[in-house]
Amino acid sequence: MPSTENNMKKIAFLGIPGSFSFIAAKKYFGNDVSLTGQKTVKNVFSTLIQRQTQLGVVPIENSTTGSILETYDQLMENNLQICGEVRLKIHHNLLVLEKNVNLKDVFKCYSHPQGIIQCQKFFENHTWIEPETVGDTATAAQMLASLKSRNAIAIASGQTAKIYGLQVLTKNIEDNKNNFTRFAVIRLEKNQSGNKATIAFSVKHIPGSLFKAIKPYADLGLNLTKIESRPIFGKSWEYIFFIDFEIGTDLTKFMEMIKRMRKVTDTVTILGLYDKGKIYET
């Protein structure tokens, strides 16, 4: 008797249940999918290449730490495609084992290094609580749950609290309220439509080469929403640029831009054509 799970889409995500990639996958795909956590961005790509999964969800940009270059590297190396985007507004919550835990009894706080950096005011006001960094916020929650300690807390999202049976003591303790992470939904096949595109191009290191390369987008009136150069350290005279555009619904302008760019660059690679992602709260 076939179970419904066999018919479910298989999605790889970065981390363990409760990670931000997990939350992004849930927001994008809903509940009727089979999610499988992976230790590294590379492993998410591997499951797709080996066709163990049909789609993957990985972080691609963070408002605090910038682009996730590991994701760009994997896209370049494996020729996979971005087919969707999710934007999460990151909130940090104080998770405790039980609601009646008293912060005066707490001496340890687990979180991802960024979780700790982004909640400096909390640590300034609770100097007796020592931050301890772990790999990610979901692992911090998992650790607290398995330790069953009333002397420790974790900084993670509210959804993660639910997964590990923890309680939220204080919501939104982050210093900066404008903390976003963008996630890319990836797969092997290209999308045929979308209102946004991510491309990579390379130029020789000569004055004006970047300028010439982006002239076509300006001439055609397309909206650039992100640009980043990546020095190829082994080849000290070459650069890769990653660019995001909003391209509207008419693909002809975009294809014309790619055509013009190819004339003034060494290589142009389309990393994805997809719809701009909605913003979700965590």
Residues belonging to the active site: 181, 183
**Which pair of tokens denotes residue 214?**
């982006």
Q: Work out the angle at residue 281's Cα, subtended by the Cα atoms of residues 97 and 45, and round it to the nearest 5 degrees.
A: 90
User: 150 vs 253, which CB is nearer to a copy of itself?
Assistant: 253
- Residue 30 Cβ vs a copy of itself, minimum distance, rounded to whole Å: 26
Q: Which stretch binds a copy of itself (CB under 8 A): 26-34, 58-66, 141-149, 264-272?
A: 58-66
| Encoded amino acid at 107, one letter | F
Longest distance between any two alpha carbons in the chain, whole Å = 66
User: 52 vs 229, which CB is nearer to a copy of itself?
Assistant: 229
Site string for a copy of itself, 197-216 (x = CB under 8 A): --------xxxx-xxx-xx-
Distance in angstroms (rounded) separating the CA atoms of residues 95 and 162:
10
Q: CA torsion sign, 189 to 194 to 198 to 202?
A: positive
Spell out the residues 6+ positions from residue 120 whose beta carbon is closer than 8 angstroms to its own.
175
User: 111 vs 157, which CB is nearer to a copy of itself?
Assistant: 111
Q: Which stretch binds a copy of itself (CB under 8 A): 18-26, 99-107, 113-121, 189-197?
A: 113-121
Q: Which of residues 71-100 bind a copy of itself (CB under 8 A)?
A: none
For strand 130-133 and strand 108-111, is the pairing parallel, antiparallel, or unpaired? parallel
Q: Taking CB under 8 A as the rule, does residue 225 contact a copy of itself?
A: yes
Q: Which of residues 242-281 bind a copy of itself (CB under 8 A)?
A: none
Residues in contact with a copy of itself, counted by CB under 8 A, come to a total of 45
- Residue 34 Cβ vs a copy of itself, minimum distance, rounded to whole Å: 26
Residues 60 and 80: beta-carbon distance below 8 Å: no
User: 32 vs 77, which CB is nearer to a copy of itself?
Assistant: 77
Phi-psi region of 249 (alpha: psi -120 to 50; beta: other; left: phi over 0): alpha
**Which pair of tokens denotes residue 6?**
């066999």
Spell out the residues 6+ positions from residue 231 whose beta carbon is closer than 8 angstroms to its own.
239
- Residue 14 Cβ vs a copy of itself, minimum distance, rounded to whole Å: 12
What does DSSP assign to residue 177? Answer: S
Among 6, 127, 178, 192, binds a copy of itself (CB under 8 A): 178
Locate the DSSP E strands across 39-172. Answer: 55-62, 66-67, 81-89, 93-96, 108-111, 130-133, 152-156, 167-170
User: 33 vs 117, which CB is nearer to a copy of itself?
Assistant: 117
Q: Which residues bind a copy of itself (CB under 8 A)?
A: 40, 42, 63-70, 113, 117, 120, 133-135, 177-180, 205-208, 210-212, 214-215, 217-218, 221-231, 233-234, 241
